[in-house]
Amino acid sequence: MKIINRDISWLSFNERVLQEASDARIPLIERMRFLGIYSNNLDEFYRVRVANIKRVMSFDKKITLNNKGTAQKLYAEIRDIVMKQQKTFEKTYQQIIKELDDNNILLINDKSLNKHQIKQLDAYYNLILKHAIVPIILDKKTSFPVIKDSSIYLAIKIVGKDKKIKYALIQIPTDFSRFYRLNADEKEYFILLDDIIRFYLKNIFKIFEFEEINAYTFKFSRDAELNLDDDYSETLIEKIEKSLKQRVKGKPVRFVYDQNMPEDLLNHLLKSLDLSKNENAIPGGKYHNFKDFISFPSFGHSEFKFSEQIPCIHPELEHVKSLIETIADKDILLHFPYQRFDYIVDTLREAAIDPTVKSIKINVYRVAKQSQIMNALIAAINNGKKVTVFLELQARFDEENNLNWANKLKEHGAKVLFGMQHFKVHSKLMQIARQINGKEQLISYIGTGNFNERTSLIYGDLGLLTANPTLGNEVKKVFRLLENNMDRGIYRELLVSPMNTRRKLIALIDKEIKFAENKKKASIKIKLNNLTDPKIIDKLYRASQAGVKIDMIIRGVCCLIPGVKDLSENIRVISIVGRYLEHARFFIFENDKNPSYFISSADWMERNFDKRIEVGCPIYDKSIQKELEFIFEQQWNDTVNARHVCKDQKNTFIHSKSDKPFNSQLALFNYYEKKAKIIE
């Protein structure tokens, strides 16, 4: 079967992020922030995906990884692609710096400071920064320090007057902004924290007599996989806590360094870190850890940022006496970030004081550190409601935050349960149970994204609020499964992984194949983050061969190859990367002119079908069905943020056939804003 390697496809996705940074149509400061997103993505890719490839390489060099041959060959191809992207990255960064300069926002460095600027920096350095700098001399008497992969370092070479050479390290302090703004009249000046430290190197190492001292940036990535072994004497919490401590000592997978670093200093670092220059080391520019540039300041220039888009009200949830009663009467679809996430929090807050509410259950994958959702649950506990929270401790890089919330919820009296060791709970469910005239009423929320008010402002997600008793009872079964792993239940409506999602999706595709074979119109519309599952891909190829028209919007990884004659010529794939992160998953099956609509927490990946608890939900409300059709149509017609996804991985933009480009994310915001104004 013809497929694109998952990791190569992911690198192609990240190149689309890099394209945003290069796009002159995007506001200047936002382009710098896209460089930060690209860098952050790549860091995580190395810590997770490349780390896994390295484990395979160390285990057995003969193991093959699907269509890329051995792990060594795949790793070599990844390195080649990253090196090419690194050149584009550096070129883009320099172009943005030039354009900032043209607009009187100037990046200065340690070599270009004037007397007035030095005076400002002296005060900042001596009063605030100096005591946060901890230099470490590298010598044979002391062991090499543990390098953190969330930080950047200056590797320092000191050449003494006696020609003897010393090496040292300084970790760039993480409690300070990376960008220091200098006061000026007509122009804006800023300097990076790295260069402030470079400027004061002679002061920091003044006890040494030296002829020359220079500093070179590097950063380091470690394997981020948690080691959760089968020691049954430890609880899952104990294993997570132990593994988090071990993560800082994980095996190295990448070393990015200033290409001007002297060879002797570079070799010393590589030897100390047990790294290979040809395998692990990637040369780059003077500055690293560009994830900090996600928070690049705007310097008061609103024209260099995206125009403000405040989430809109939902016409059916505004100015109502009771959100819960409104949901009881009609299904409600929320679309973030275009509509307010507050409605979820406010529904919980209402449930906290509603005398008919007896219990609240929720499963949580990622939440904000200062979570309104969690505070609303605590309010419910304080009002005597029975609150059960299923926290996924294995949500990568959020494990510590989830542990903190688990402890806080327990302190307030919540029943806190954790996901299973070999299955992540990735579904997005909430259920409020009421007693109305002696009967139970279930208010359920089934979503595609996390209960996180912070990310809801940038992640495009969907959430259904419903009192449908059939759906409610099946959601109740999922919660029962989470409480008792043996009680799996039967799900006739919901798509629940690992029980039936794959089987139901294949059955839905098979129906479309039969319609096509019987000369009936057959089509599927699919919106996902990632498509990697070989069995599903094979089924989609078969559907295409039967004549089923398949349109897919895949933001990230797409292992399927569209447009191949006699294989996938009826499949078209686009990817949208823009201001908002496209995160919603939904699909529409034509079903012989009686379409079936679903939203889901699951991408079409092996792990989402087989190794996670995921929940997809049919949409029955006709008006919501029309809205899903509208959302898909808007995004499919995008000519600003959309690229073709095809075998060559070139990410060519889809150009407008008219003179007016169409930005689906802006169009959707305008659509919801117009709907909101109807009741204002």
The helix-helix angle for 71-102 and 51-59 (nearest 10°) equals 160
| Strand partners for 175 | none
Pairing of strands 523-528, 549-554: parallel
DSSP for 262-273 reads -HHHHHHHHHHT
Distance CA 420, CA 418 (A): 7
Distance CA 559, CA 556 (A): 10
Contact 57, 72 (CB under 8 A): yes
Contact 220, 274 (CB under 8 A): no
Here the tokens at position 503 are: 């089987």
Contact 104, 188 (CB under 8 A): yes
Distance CA 51, CA 618 (A): 38
Pairing of strands 332-336, 459-466: antiparallel
Q: What is the residue whose two structure tokens read 């006699």?
A: 566
Sequence letter at residue 434? R
Contact 228, 240 (CB under 8 A): yes
- Cα–chain center distance at 649: 21
**Collapsing DSSP states into helix, strand and coil, what is residue 19?**
helix
Reference 65, options 563, 559, 562; nearest CA is: 559
- Determine how many CB atoms are found less than 10 A away from the CB of residue 612: 25
Cα-trace Rg, the chain: 27
Sequence letter at residue 230? D
Handedness of CA 624, 629, 630, 634 (dihedral sign): positive
CA end-to-end distance (rounded Å), the chain = 55
Q: What is the DSSP letter of 558?
A: B
**Residue in 426, 583, 644, 655 annotated catalytic:** 426
Contact 558, 9 (CB under 8 A): yes
Residue 426 designated active-site: yes
Q: What is the residue whose two structure tokens read 């510590």?
A: 400
Here the tokens at position 202 are: 């002679």
Instruction: Name every residue whose Cβ is closer than 8 Å to that of residue 454 and which is 6 or more positions away in sequence.
Output: 368
Here the tokens at position 509 are: 């595709």
Reference 81, options 20, 11, 17; nearest CA is: 11
Q: Which residues of 191-215 are buried (b: 16+ CB within 10 A; e: fewer)?
A: bbbbbbbbbbbeebbeeeebeebbb
Distance CA 633, CA 646 (A): 20
Reference 357, options 389, 379, 390; nearest CA is: 379
Q: What is the DSSP letter of 64?
A: B
**Collapsing DSSP states into helix, strand and coil, what is residue 88?**
helix
Q: What is the residue whose two structure tokens read 């919106």?
A: 527
Reference 409, options 440, 374, 444; nearest CA is: 374
The helix-helix angle for 372-382 and 342-353 (nearest 10°) equals 10
Contact 567, 579 (CB under 8 A): no
Q: What amino acid positions are annotated as catalytic residues?
A: 426
